[in-house]
Structure 1
Amino acid sequence: MNLLPQICATRPALGRTRYLRFRVTAPDMEPVERYVPVEQGTAELPIVPPGKGRVLEVRGYTDLPRAGGRVVALGRSRAFEVPASAGDARPTVSVAIRQVDTYTYPSTAQGACESLAEPRAAHTATLLEDGRVLLAGGYRTGSDGVDSTVSSAELFDPMTGAVTRVPALESPRAFHTATRLPGGKVLLAGGEVRTVEGVLPVRSARVLDVAQGTSTEVELAVARSHHAAAMDAGGRVLFVGGVGAGGEVVARAEGYDASTGQVFSVSTPVPRVGMAAMPVQDGRRIAVVGGSDGAELRPEVLFFSFEGGSFVPVGEGARLREPRRDAALVPFGGPERLLYVGGHASPGGVEDARLLASSELVSPGAETQVSPGPQVFARSGLCAVALPDGRVMTLGGVRGPVSDPHVELLVPGRDGAAPALLGLTPPAQPRHHHSCTVLEDGSVLIAGGQSEDGSQRTTLDDLLVYTPVPLD
């Protein structure tokens, strides 16, 4: 076993640890665990029965739990296989362990702090099948205050902390979408390019095969940025809304079939910007929530399913109680309940808009229900991610002309109880147009973004990993 404590410029991951707990779980076995003093390290790992899908979790405790010890460090391995034959080689399992409730700067094996190869905001971050994260595109603000669009892409490996360049995108783009396709490829679609002539929407898409180091261009039916995309269970991607040529709201929807590599038309128009899209009901449907048509906020919750060779609207869409745009949509307490959180109550920009300190719960089903969600810190353009245990973490966004620093943890209520909100310590720099990605071990990667204080704009190049305190 390789235990990889993150040290970098922060306190060592095991600095307050007296005991380590090694716990192995899998769907076909009872958990096995062992507590050992930290100085003993990995000398006495628990015996694991043979089989696939084993996951090793390592926790650092200030003392034994029965003596009141607290969890101060945490890490989980990727799933591994233990061979049945004693003659077969035993697997080498690596675990990156980090302090909980702390923003950790990734580090290399030599202990150097890692950062993005290039500052970027309004980029995409996609978790790949091998656990790495692809960060692509975006924009950056130069020392002269002028924005330029980024054409580079890079890979972050959470296990080693390494950042590596990948071949540059054929065309720069920001405010695009990234969808992980079946087979591990990534579809980067649309976006915009910032030039001296102004902002130009992008019509093209690219399918990146990171493993092979190749990419294939796909031509969309319409140029769009600030749009939404979601994939159903059959590998078909729905594109809706966005901003097109001349700043007009795009009404035309379209789809992409990963099995054929073809773009197909969708007859139902969805003229929206500032909305969100997400698969529901095990990917049989795609929900489109919120946004504005440019003149009015749209309260209708739309659902699409793939029938007869295209996406078609289905069901009686419910209505938001408090229409909004530029909010975050994320599963809450499980895959079949969505939380639509934050945003602002103006069909246009956020500068003079009323920020919303509320959220709404959308429960798709035979009859879609919309109910009030927990109160939150008021801001727009925030990121929100669903943790494996059902909690939701939100971070950053904008409040008028400045970046918002707030970070919060939303905890679903149990047995009918109301959800709870916990304010978390913010990172050193507030940000918007950043990315938040849940890693395989349940930690959250926060990458780049724009930091603005009303007088100065800075495009960030930092990488932060936040490990939430476990519920149990």
Structure 2
Amino acid sequence: MCITFIIIVLVIIITIPIVTVKTKKTNNEQASTAEETTIEITEKMKITTELTTTSSTTTITSTTTITSTTAASTISITTAIPQWTMTGDMNVARKFHTASMLINGKVLVIGGYNGITLNSAELYDPLTGIWTIITSMNTERQEHTASVFTDGTVLVAGGIKDKVFLNTAVLYNPSTDSWTTMGNMRGVRGAHKATKLKNDKVLISGGDGGSGFLYSAELYDPSTGIWTRTSSMNHQRVDHAISLLTDGKVLVAGGNNYRGPLNSAELYDPLTEFWTETGSMSVTRQCSTLSTLINGKVLIAGGFNGGYLKSAELYDPSTGYWTSTGSMNYARQCHTASLLSNGKVLVTGGYNGIYINNTEIYDPSTGIWTISTDMNIARQQHTATILTNGILLVAGGEGDAPYLNNVERYPLP
């Protein structure tokens, strides 16, 4: 009996350390597991944060698991999409007008048509959103051109008045709100194009002379106030597209010459004052837009050639060739195209059997067009002006009403 008791006591004494050791090991394993869980959670949170901060919508998700209990939380930060907003209406509804960005930051709108040819002009103040009527021109005109000089004055040339084609030119001085009659152009013309060259002269090209579409071109010198003939284009053109290249030359593309839309293009060199034919586009087009990109290439988009076009092409001045790029999402003519500070191109409105209020953005790095925010009003033959504060101002044109006076603004990306 005594021996039996001793054996039982020995068994208990031996068992206690084993249980203690096993218990301690279990606690250590739990602590180790907890440490691993903490490390794993920290790493997951770090990875999630790094991945989501590259998106415009940031989602941070943390998940903690302790035994069978799970806690989860999600925070979403959404970037607002820029919208078009209406601003003050013009005092006069108009299409076939011009809009010019002045050096004082205001926008000058001149002339146009709303059932009658207009001589009125008005100024838009971006700070107040209000249009103010200013001194009128002494001659009504539509489908004219307006060019801003470095001294702030604005040259208005040619146009059409009651089916009469004009060769007159006037100069507006914003500091005195006054118009001065300048020398006449060498020929009458409307629906022509004006390009201010790097030497501050203005190149006038093509258009309608009343008795036919024009080859001719002429130069205005602001230092003398005199017009001079320069060499003629190789093709008659009206409704053509034009853009100043980075090297100072001028590219003209497409248009119409009575026989129909053109696919030809030519270059004007201010140093030699000659036009040289360059590569032709793959598609004929008139009423398109031409934009010189930051990389020096030139984008032509949309237009009309018996059908409404959504195709686009790129001109490379270094090779003289055109190549196809991504097509717009919508066919359109008589739209506007604005080069943005980030190098992209924003196209607004136009017409493709119906008046269009949609807009889209071209990215030269991908060659892809992305649909952007719709304007409030569908319109064509409107103007688009980039303000000094980075807002795009769209004014007037033609839409569901034949002549529009409404105006809207869009904050550019």
8 A contact 2:299–2:314 mirrored in 1: yes
Give the structure with the higher percent helix.
2
Partner of 1:358 in structure 2? 311
Partner of 1:374 in structure 2? 326
Partner of 2:256 in structure 1? 292
Paired residue secondary structure (2:116): strand
1:126 is the counterpart of 2:100: yes
Tell me which of 283, 291, 309 is aligned to 1:330: 291
Q: d(CA) in 1 for partners of 2:176 and 2:344? A: 35
Q: d(CA) in 2 for partners of 1:202 and 1:369? A: 36
Identity of aligned residues (%): 27
Q: How does 1:241-256 map to 2 (within 5 A)?
A: 241-246=206-211, 248-256=212-220
Letter in 1 for 2:145: T
1:155 is the counterpart of 2:123: yes
Q: d(CA) in 2 for partners of 1:322 and 1:64? A: 44
1:335 Cα offset (Å): 5.9
1:441 Cα offset (Å): 2.2
* TM-score normalised to structure 1 length: 0.68
Give the structure with the higher percent strand.
1
Q: d(CA) in 2 for partners of 1:382 and 1:208? A: 27
Q: How does 1:55-66 map to 2 (within 5 A)?
A: none
Paired residue secondary structure (1:465): strand
Letter in 2 for 1:119: A
Partner of 1:191 in structure 2? 159
Tell me which of 444, 450, 454 is aligned to 2:392: 444
Letter in 2 for 1:265: R
1:460 is the counterpart of 2:412: no
1:120 Cα offset (Å): 0.9
Q: How many positions carry a matched residue from both structures?
A: 341
Deviations 1:283-336 (A, max 9, x none): x2111111122114332321112236xx2225x51211112111011233x161
1:68 Cα offset (Å): 5.8
1:339 is the counterpart of 2:291: no
Q: d(CA) in 2 for partners of 1:277 and 1:459? A: 26
1:138 is the counterpart of 2:112: yes
Deviations 1:223-264 (A, max 9, x none): 111111111100111111111224x21222111112221100
Q: d(CA) in 1 for partners of 2:385 and 2:120? A: 19
1:64 Cα offset (Å): 10
1:167 Cα offset (Å): 0.6
Q: d(CA) in 1 for partners of 2:360 and 2:296? A: 22
8 A contact 1:280–1:335 mirrored in 2: no
Partner of 1:207 in structure 2? 171
Q: d(CA) in 2 for partners of 1:258 and 1:243? A: 24
Q: d(CA) in 1 for partners of 2:313 and 2:175? A: 39
* TM-score normalised to structure 2 length: 0.77
Paired residue secondary structure (1:254): strand
Structure 2, unmatched stretches of 5+, are 1-55, 61-74
Judged with a 3 Å threshold, the aligned counterparts in structure 2 of structure 1 residues 342 and 63 are, in CA distance, closer, same or farther, namely: closer
1:127 Cα offset (Å): 0.8
The worse-fitting range, judged by mean Cα deviation, of 151-160 and 296-305 is 296-305
1:429 Cα offset (Å): 2.3
8 A contact 2:382–2:396 mirrored in 1: yes
1:363 Cα offset (Å): 2.1
8 A contact 2:244–2:250 mirrored in 1: yes
Q: d(CA) in 2 for partners of 1:185 and 1:119? A: 24
Q: d(CA) in 1 for partners of 2:126 and 2:58? A: 28
Q: d(CA) in 2 for partners of 1:394 and 1:425? A: 11
1:216 Cα offset (Å): 2.1
**Which of the pair has more CA radius of gyration?**
2
8 A contact 1:235–1:259 mirrored in 2: no
Letter in 1 for 2:92: E
Q: d(CA) in 2 for partners of 1:163 and 1:104? A: 16
